[in-house]
Structure 1
Amino acid sequence: MTERPSAFAVDRRGFIRLAGSTAAGWLALGATPDRMRVVASLTVLPLDDELTRRSMTDSATTRLGGLIAGLRQRGWVEGVNYRFEIRSTFGGPDKFKAAVRELIDLKPDVILTGSTGETAAVMAATKTIPIVFATSNDPVGNGFVESLAHPGGNVTGFTSSTAEMGGKWLQLIREAVPDIARVGVLFNPATTPRAGRFFLDSLEQEAAASGVAVVLAPVSATADIDGAISRFSEAPKAAMIALVDSFLVVNRQTIIAATAKYRVPMIYPFHYFMDAGGLMSYGPTLEVRSADYVDLILRGTKAGDLPVQAPRKYELLINRTVGNALGLTIPFTLLARADEIRE
């Protein structure tokens, strides 16, 4: 069992003051003072969301904090030789379009995207500004890159899951709840890869082999979530799987509250759901490697010449206290394989 390192958080104003006081030292590492570069980023979360606030700290355990810290190690100091701009796409289609337009109008040197929808929107808006996607499940299938090894164009980045994850999630939730007869699949068709089919093929194959019925539970609005989950509190016994989906991440608190209310076990793709009180998650370990690519692009490397990288490690997290509240006895064989057990 491994423990997540504690976050060392510094507010961004304090961080900029610290950076400014040591600018000469960082410039000696290779930063160039000839002009102020612009690194831009989009997030599907509101800017006041807990995950967004946490990400804006100077900590390697958060995506944006890790980016800023990683760039500093490479000689790029925020407020000295580059500035960081972030916009939220949260708030509906008009807000989404406005956020993308605002970033494009800044003429940034590189744009970091965090979801499939964001990457597609930015690609539609520019063919010249380099784009680095921090997470993408199917970059070739979505038309973002020509191939993983040779992306081409102005885009590259990092994948976060494979299509086989659907079957893996079912295997794990069945170990936690071995007597289920059906599994519900929660997702928003508009925001999950290939409207869910990216994961459903392997999930349905695993379900057919294990005799479990797959019941789709698509949701398109926050108000749909409670009813979608309540259906699986009745017989025959069921558990649920949350697909990789930015909509579900935004609404993670609502989802967790409904699973507790209706006592429905659910497995999630990211540790964000565990932080909100989820039962178990299985997904890629958060490795903030985007600083490597942003640095290379700022120094002149073409995004399309940088290969798309896959996760190097996956982690299983289990909350035993949540399991007890749901009336589950998590098998020791499953607990023994967990990277982290929360109480």
Structure 2
Amino acid sequence: RGDLSSLPGLLAELLALKVDVIVTITAPATIAAQRATDRIPIVFSVGDAVGRGLVATLAQPGGNATGASGQFVELQAKRIELLQQLAPGTARVAALMYTVLGFPPAMFQAPRPHGVEIFIVELTGAQDLDRALSTISNLRADAVLLSQIWSDSRFRVEIVDAVARTRLPAIFPTREYVELGGLFSYGTDIGLTLAQTAVFVDKILRGAKPANLPIEQPTAFDLAINLKTARTLGISVPREILLRADWIVE
């Protein structure tokens, strides 16, 4: 659940095992790996590799790290746009984030899309959910956005249940949340992202150098919507969203 204090110890164990490749998810894990070794190849999956300073450029990473980098800032703008399509009048969005996990600085500096105000609500784990709900209420938010793809399946259920209690329209990062009852999602397929990292590992084990392997970015994004949840919230889903949806939960 995002405990970063264990990273140095875990990496020390990997170095002692003399592994051939280290795979990291999230920017902090990648940064910790880069600090631990400049010799062992690192394959990462992060939101913004260049923005976080993990590599020099997408085309020429340099160093001993390469991998997949998302389009986090662009994705956020698109999610806000979809929220406004589904819930016209959306103007105050509460964004649930564990900021320590390395969200790109541009997310907080970029002009707010479509006149929407974005309020960051820190979420580090289950212990924060009640406080987060209280904050959302105090902010008088009219929609919720979740950016973090939590790997803990139990916590994903808790997040969806907590957001449901706000009775607000909410957009999630992947369809796994929609299958659990979340209203809708827009983002990359986790399976495809993991497949990308596997390809990098294979190339490196065959002799390729990370410095010479360009960073890959997602080219396909899924839109999923839960019609049952929409009905519960009294939301009429626009036809254009239904036509664009890749996944529909009845």
TM-score relative to the length of structure 2: 0.88
Q: Flag as ranges the 4+ runs of structure 1 deviating above 6 A.
A: 247-250
1:298-330 CA-to-partner distances (Å, cap 9, x unmatched) read 121111111101112111111111111222111
Q: What SS does the aligned partner of 1:122 have?
A: helix
Q: Is the 8 A contact 2:98 2:148 kept in 1?
A: no
- Secondary structure, aligned partner of 2:51: coil
The alpha carbon displacement at 1:297 in A equals 0.9
Q: Who is 1:143 aligned against?
A: 53
Tell me how far apart the structure 2 counterparts of residues 93 and 205 of structure 1 sit (CA, whole Å): 30
With over 3 angstroms needed to count, the CA separation of the structure-2 counterparts of 1:205 and 1:94, relative to structure 1, is closer
Q: Distance in 2 between matches of 1:125 and 1:111?
A: 11
Counterpart of 1:187, as a letter, is M
Q: Which residue of 1 aligns with 2:172?
A: 268
CA distance in 1, matches of 2:69, 2:46: 5
- Match for residue 97 of structure 1? 8
33, 40, 44: which is aligned to 1:129?
40
Matched residue SS, 1:186: strand
Q: Which residue of 2 aligns with 1:330?
A: 237
Equivalences, count: 247
> C-alpha displacement at 1:94, in angstroms?
4.3
Q: How does 1:89-238 map to 2 (within 5 A)?
A: 92-133=3-44, 135-194=45-104, 197-202=105-110, 204-208=111-115, 212-232=116-136, 238=142
CA contact 2:147–2:173 (8 Å) conserved in 1: yes
Correspondent of 1:300 among 207, 212, 237: 207
Larger RCO, structures 1/2 (Cα 8 Å, 6+ apart) = 2
Distance in 2, Cα, partners of 1:102 & 1:226: 36
1:256-279 C-alpha deviation (Å, 9 max, x unpaired):
111122212211122232233211
Query: Is the helix fraction higher in 1 or 2?
Result: 2
- Classify the secondary structure of the residue corresponding to 1:336: helix
- What amino acid maps onto 1:265 in structure 2? P
Q: Deviations over 1:225-247 (max 9, x none)?
A: 23323444579560011124558
For the aligned residue pairs, the C-alpha RMSD in angstroms reads 2.4
CA distance change for structure 1 residues 168 and 93 in 2, over 3 Å: closer, same or farther?
closer
How many angstroms apart in 1 are the aligned matches of 2:53 and 2:140?
Answer: 40
Alignment of 1:275-314 (within 5 A): 275-285=179-189, 286-287=191-192, 288-314=195-221
Structure possessing the higher radius of gyration over alpha carbons: 1
Q: Is the 8 A contact 2:52 2:102 kept in 1?
A: no
Paired residues of 1:185 and 1:217 also in contact (CA < 8 A): yes
For structure 1, the 5+ residue unaligned runs are 1-44, 46-89
State how far apart, in whole Å, the 2-side matches of 1:216 and 1:113 are.
25
- Cα 1:143/1:213, change in 2 over 3 Å: closer
Does the C-alpha gap of structure 1 residues 175 and 128 become closer, same or farther in structure 2, counting only changes over 3 Å? same
| Aligned-partner residue type, residue 167 of structure 2 | R
* Counterparts in 2 of 1:119 and 1:237: CA distance versus 1, 3 Å: closer
